[in-house]
Amino acid sequence: MVRVRSPQDLGAGAVFVTIGAAGLYFGQDLAFGSSARMGPGYFPTILSYLIIAIGLVLAVKSLATDGPPIERFSFRPLFAILAAILAFGFLIERIGLALTAAVLTVGSAYARRDVNLKETLLLAAGLALFVVGVFVYGLTQPLPAWWGR
C-alpha cells in the first residue's frame, strides 16, 4: 500500500498535471511547426509537457518525503465572496450601483457566521452612498447609479 506522506505536494502535483494535460488536449489542433518555423502550438506544447513533468515530480515527492497536511477548505467564506462577485456582475446593469453595492455588502457579510444584521445594513447603506458619490459622480465612471440610469 502506497502511503501519501506529503498531501500538499500531491495536491499541487495533481493541479499541475491537470493543467499540463489540458494544455495538450486543447492545444492539439495547433500546428507544432518546426524549430525553424515555430507554429502556434510549439511553445504551448513544450510548456505543457514541462508542467506535467513538474506535476509528476511533485507526486513522486509526496510519496517519498513527509510534509504538512492540507489545511481545511473553508467553503463558507470562499463561496460567499465568489457569489457576491458574481451577483455584482449580474445585478449592476439591472438595478444600478447603489442597490448592487448594498447587495454585495450584505451578501459578503454572510461569509462570516455571526452576522449582526443591523450593523451590516447600516454599513451597506453607508457604502452604497459612498461608492455612488465617489465612482459615479466623483470619478464619473461608466456605472449606472440607479436602475434605468
Site residues for other proteins per CB under 8 A: 8-9, 11-12, 15-16, 19, 23, 26-27, 30-31, 34-40, 42-44, 47-48, 50-51, 54-55, 57-58, 61, 68, 70-71, 73-74, 77-78, 81-82, 84-86, 88-90, 92-93, 97, 101, 104-105, 108-109, 111-112, 119, 123-124, 127, 131, 135, 139, 141-143
Minimum CB distance to other proteins, residue 28 (Å): 11
Count CB neighbours of 34 within 10 A.
Answer: 9
Straight-line distance from the first to the last Cα atom of the chain, in angstroms, rounded to the nearest whole number: 64
User: Least distance in Å: CB of 1 to other proteins?
Assistant: 23
Name which of 4, 119, 136 is nearest 66 in CA terms. 4
Local structure of residue 146 (DSSP, 8 states): S
- SS3 state of residue 38: strand
